[in-house]
Structure 1
Amino acid sequence: MQLKARFAMLVWFLAAMTFAGAIGIPKGFNVTTLLIFLCSFFVSFLQPTTFSVDRGDKLLVWTFFAFGVSLIAASLYDHWQVKGLDKPSRFLLVIPVVFLLLRSKGPKEWMWYGIVVGSLLAFAHALYERVILGVARARGGEHPIMFGDTGMMLGLLSLAAAIYFFSQKRFNWLICSLFGGLAGMGASVLSGSRGGWVAVPLIGLFLLWECRDLLGKKRLMAVFSVAIFCIVTAVLVPQTGIQKRVGEAVSNIMQYSDGSKTATSVGLRFDMWKSAIYMFQQAPVFGVGESQVQPIKRVLAAEGKISAKAVPFDHAHNEYLQALSTRGIIGLFFLLAMYLVPLKLFLRKLRQHKDNWRIRSYAIGGALIPMCYMDFALTQTMFMHNIGVMMFAFPIAYFWAALRWAERDELAKLELKN
């Protein structure tokens, strides 16, 4: 029994370390997710009598399975593009991890510590690259956009951690979590990635709304006021670079509109989106396949419809348009299902447990992941990158299992009282 308990602790430690080493330690997430997957081979070693798979567990697993298989089928349909099987397979490999965590009763709250540490390490790494190394955009061994978006997600998850620690009256870790929230967002700012910034006001409002009863009206207004002050200050202070990046975006849009300059950061995105829409029109049901993206873009460039500088990019810098252009309406359906099914499952738990913050905190954290990705997807194809797949699929599995264990713990307490 003691050996099983230690094994369960190891599993949750690896889950926490996935967040802690996500981007603060270059490629750190690869090691922890691989180890926790290998641990799933010993899932039969953990079989508590209380374990039972419910409808939500099955729905999440089947969603991972369906999306992974749809991506694999699309790659094989696309002239047997075997090289495209790598990232889709991750959505299948996370399935045994779901069952492993559902059978591993351990310190699930370690995840909150991992998230806060991960945010602080991400900011420290970004600061080191910008100040010491003098690079223009922090990247931590990843593409700057992926680094920035992941940092933003860690920052927002740190705010969910702050809600958890506040509900448990653990004020030292509450303060650490708030610093973690600022650190994660700071890492995003230092990366210069604008796409993730949209998530701050939208998800911030979601967090405030969900914890309005926990905070009370006075605290809620105080938090809202401080948040607005921090956002306005970050925008107005030139050293953050936000003003410059937003100004560049506005200038790029104006230049693209009047045709004076199209090969800008935003202009190239517009051309990628335009070509993606064209591809969708050519094959609306199944898409043209990833192998046809650049050949079609070369034709469009030759016809003067897009800039030649947009041709080398092998994706649309928009997850929705990428799915539509390469996998058609069917591909978009499976993509939306991968976002919306987990989101609906976590939001349903929020409605079921209106006053229990030991459960609600995990539901909020889990809901933030698809929310963030749905925002990031507007300006980046997250699932074309290994970190994008891993930091979506595995954290959703972690939060779902943590939530289910929190429910079981509360049920056990009620049974003891009765």
Structure 2
Amino acid sequence: MTAAFEYLAGRRNFFVGTLLLFSLSLALSKSAMNILIGVVYLSVFYFMLRDRSFRGSVIRNVKQPLLLPFILYIMVALIGLFFTERPADGIGILNKMAGMVLVYLMVSTLLDAMDRGRGAFSSAERLLAAYIIGIFFLDIIALLTYAGFIGHKKLMLPLAPLHVHHIWFSNLNAIGLYAAAAFLLFPHRQRTKKIDGAVALFMLISLACIALSLSRTAWFGLLLTSLIMTALLSFMTRNRKPFLLALLAIMGASLLLYGFSPFVQYRISMIYSDIANYVSGYEVATSLGARFLMWKAAFLMFLSNPLVGVGTGDYVLTMNRYMA
């Protein structure tokens, strides 16, 4: 009995540790993330051969209804490979889609299989916390780079550490910020003042990094999501004060930033100039102008191929034809 218990505890600790490393690496290293996915799946196959109950738990989770939409999604991309003009690009797209499904299946299956229905919520919290910690490390590197302690990009904007694109950097922070807000807004186990303080500190640093990323999409998404989350909180507590206070705070902060920050003024003024230049036809190769062209080309592409679409990996090639 002791040997069996130690075996189960060792297996659980292995999966918990590996998934924590995976969550931590999401924001820091794509190579490490892919290696950990491979390690997890090889380990799952090994433990399935050794443990009948674990095998039954994995098979039961694989049969979950939510997996069907993922499979249909991949099948559409797989069919698109048969009439693509760029097979290499198509395989690359299919690989990204399959990776998303593998990550979902890995996490959703192991959270139940390794805990046997006990403590899965706690494990999920730890995985989410590891993801937030990974983003925190990335943010610290970004701020040290901006301050000139790392690299040669002192006071250079937009903020983009470790060769990460500034929009992707802002998106990572936005997701981490929403996860951190969920930690504070909704009760969970082992909640202490130290944990709340650490989460609040991360949120402040994340907000600063989103601002320095100069991503207008992230700015707008942050404002909109903040209002939605406070509205939900007000609805749940039947108290309108949080929503009204958040609305006033967002409006006040937005006006202050626009009034005193040259960067914010410049990025906002670009919206009007890009739209005016696109409408007049004077210049379309701007930040927003390129998006308008892409949306127009995508709409024309859909009208030409309404049923089966274009081949997997042919989007850029076909879009360039419509934009030419």
Question: The residue matched to 1:180 in structure 2 has which SS?
Answer: helix
Q: Structure 1-normalised TM-score? A: 0.61
Match of 2:22 among 18, 23, 28: 18
| Alpha-carbon distance change, 263 to 194 in structure 1, aligned in 2, over 3 angstroms | same
Q: Distance in 1 between matches of 2:18 and 2:241?
A: 35
Counterpart of 2:283, as a letter, is K
d(CA) in 1 for partners of 2:15 and 2:71? Answer: 22
TM-score (norm 2): 0.76
User: After superposition, what is the alpha-carbon deviation per residue over 1:23-77, rounded to whole angstroms, capped at 9, x for unaligned?
Assistant: 2457554444444344332452483699598899712222222222222222334
Give the gaps of 5 or more residues in structure 1.
303-418
Alignment of 1:113 with 2:119, yes or no, is: no
Residues 77 and 92 of structure 1, relative CA distance in 2, 3 Å threshold? farther
Displacement of 1:254: 1.6
Point out the structure with max Rg over C-alpha.
2
Q: Do the aligned partners of residues 16 and 180 (structure 1) sit closer, same or farther apart at CA in structure 2, a change above 3 Å counting?
A: farther
2:135, 2:172 within 8 Å by CA — same for their partners in 1? no
1:65 to 54, 62, 71: 71
SS state at 2:20 partner: helix
> Which residue among 65, 86, 106 is the counterpart of 2:95?
86
What is aligned with 1:40? Answer: 44
Equivalent AA in structure 2 for residue 36 of structure 1? V
Task: Provide structure 2 residue ranges, at least 5 long, that are not aligned to the other structure.
Answer: none
Instruction: For 1:6-405, list aligned pairs within 5 A.
Output: 6-24=10-28, 28-44=32-48, 45=51, 47=53, 58-79=64-85, 80=87, 81-94=90-103, 95-105=105-115, 107-108=122-123, 109-132=125-148, 133-134=153-154, 135-139=156-160, 140-164=162-186, 169-212=191-234, 217=239, 220=242, 224=246, 228=250, 230=253, 233-238=256-261, 241-290=263-312, 292-302=314-324
For 2:68, the aligned partner's letter is: W
3-state SS of paired residue (1:217): coil
Aligned equivalent of 1:5: 9
Counterparts of 1:7 and 1:104, CA distance in 2: 8
CA contact (8 A) 2:28 2:135 kept: yes
Q: Please give the root-mean-square deviation of Cα atoms over the aligned residues, in Å.
A: 3.6
